[in-house]
Amino acid sequence: MSLRTVEEVSTQVPADDFQALEDKVYRTIELYKSSREARAIAERDAQRLREQLEEREEEVESMRGAPMATATKPPHMQDATNSSVRVEIFDQGYNLRGTDPDYILRLAEYVDTKMRAVSEQTHTVDTARLAVLAAINIADEYHLLKRRMDGGSSDSSKRTSQLLSALDEVLVDKRLKS
């Protein structure tokens, strides 16, 4: 708009109406700016989400067909008391030795299951971090079971003592009556 047009409008429009019109124009400009900023932010967020989705799809694709924990016993056993077992935990192979290959396999499957569960819950791909988190979960299970067992034994001891006391009372009463 040229300066001449502005002067014509300002002479034709009363001052109060012009002020109201000017306020509306400034509000419209501010709304337009806010809208443009919001759109830019939304576009950045959408791009970030697209990238995250692509990463997750790649993770899922790489996990498809990934074998669960497996163990193989070598055909030749050199030492029956300490045999070697090949296990795979979270797609990493390990040669482990022990006296019970089946037990080693069960342990490997358990650890593999825990790591995969942590991976699904946290969406973490760092295997060292997954291993630590899985170890924390396994340690938590261990300590909860240990606490339950310790609590159970003290509870059992307490109950046993109460039963013995009750039996002693009955026996003493029976002897006194005899």
Confidence label for 158 from pLDDT (cuts 50, 70 and 90): confident
Higher model confidence: residue 1 or residue 144?
144
Torsion of CA 7, 13, 18, 24, to 10 degrees: -100
pLDDT at residue 19 greater than cutoff 80: no
Which residues are within 8 A (CB) of 168 and not within 5 positions of it... i.e. 6 or more apart? none
Confidence label for 34 from pLDDT (cuts 50, 70 and 90): confident
CA-to-CA distance for 33 and 101, rounded, in angstroms? 69
CA-to-CA distance for 115 and 120, rounded, in angstroms? 9
SS3 of 26, please? helix
List the one residue out of 53, 48, 50 whose CA is nearest residue 123.
Answer: 53
* pLDDT tens-place string over residues 74-132: 544 445 578 899 999 999 999 999 999 999 999 999 999 999 999 999 988 889 999 99
Given a contact cutoff of 8 angstroms between Cβ atoms, the answer to whether 86 and 76 are in contact is: no
